Amino acid sequence: MVIDRHITGSRILVTGAAGFIGSNLVEDLLAHGNEVVGLDDLSTGFQRNLDPFLSNGQFTFINGDIRDTKACAKAVDGVDYVMHQAALGSVPRSINDPVTTNDVNINGFLNMLVAARDAKVKRFVFATSSSVYGDEQSLPKEESRVGRPLSPYAVTKSVNENYARVFGELYGMETIGLRYFNVFGKHQDPDGAYAAAIPKFIRHFMRHDAPTIHGDGTQSRDFTYIKNVIHANHIAALSSNPVAVNEVYNVAFGQSTNLNELINILQELLGNFDPKILNIDVKYGPERIGDVRHSLASTVKANAILGYRPEYDLKAGLTEAIQWYWEFLGGGRPV
């Protein structure tokens, strides 16, 4: 069972609030009686993700860029906790445009750290990434062993972790980094050049198109449902364990699935809505530059120190996510 620990009655800033993870956090934090400030410049997030909250008197939206120090200072005013999700994601995007990725993910991150320090927030919880493990081959991935980054995106997340550690040591801030492993769930964009694998595959199947796997499909990931991530953010903000702060933790389910297996599960679940999907074959293309081949997390540290207990495995998460995508993408009702 998941330890039922939730932030309540606090004022919380969620950066990247219009994005996939940010909007799910906003929804959950409001549901638990918090006042939430959302900061987003809507460059990659969507207004539609925020529309359900705009009539809620406990929610304030600031249309601003984390590269703007004034916007950062305004957003942290009176805040108890920061949950920093804003970033330019995607390994391929960072390879195509390393300058903008660096500007947003490093300069923007530093701006938010400075603003949170000056506002004396209780704790700064931030999203980092499994990409920091780079060419480290050992499995499962343990927080103390990282390799060389394989993409500009991975470099930015590694720098974020080091900046947070230094701010903790120099300024007495309390920071906690959460290394997300392949998060999926509702609000994750299925379209665009940099869409993640799961929503992209779902979109193709619902259109009766053959999705493309980059590589032979044996590369594996530790797919992590959004509700496990929300749980991790709550307990990271609340942990009273004196050794918890100024550390990083894997946030994953702790189970590896290769892409061929993922496709089979998706077809099985989507087949309950549309049997024709069961007969669609996949296509295989070239491997993507900068991708880590295998990813599997150890959650021992997060379990022992934070009390992290991921409740949703891949199939349980996909069952919920597919219901949302079926409605969001206009698939109609199950047959």
Which residues are marked as active site?
153
Q: What is the CA radius of gyration of the chain?
A: 19
Asked if 108 and 64 count as a contact pair (C-beta separation under 8 A), the reply is no
**Strand, helix or coil at 94?**
helix
Helix/strand/coil for 16: coil
Residue type, 27: E
**Residues 303, 244 contacting (CB under 8 angstroms):** no
Peptide bond into 140 cis (omega under 30): yes
DSSP code of 141?
A: B
The residue written with tokens 């594996």 in the block is: 220
What secondary structure letter does DSSP report for 270?
H
| Residue 28 CB coordination number (10 Å) | 21
Q: Whose CA is closest to 308, among 260, 241, 214, 217?
A: 241
The sign of the CA dihedral 187, 191, 193, 195 is: positive
- DSSP H stretches of helix in 120-196: 152-171
Pairwise CA distance, residues 10 & 331, whole Å:
38
- Bridge partner list, 248: 177
Q: Under 8 Å CB-to-CB from 194, ≥6 apart: which residues? A: 89, 90, 92, 93
Altogether, the residues listed in the chain come to a count of 335
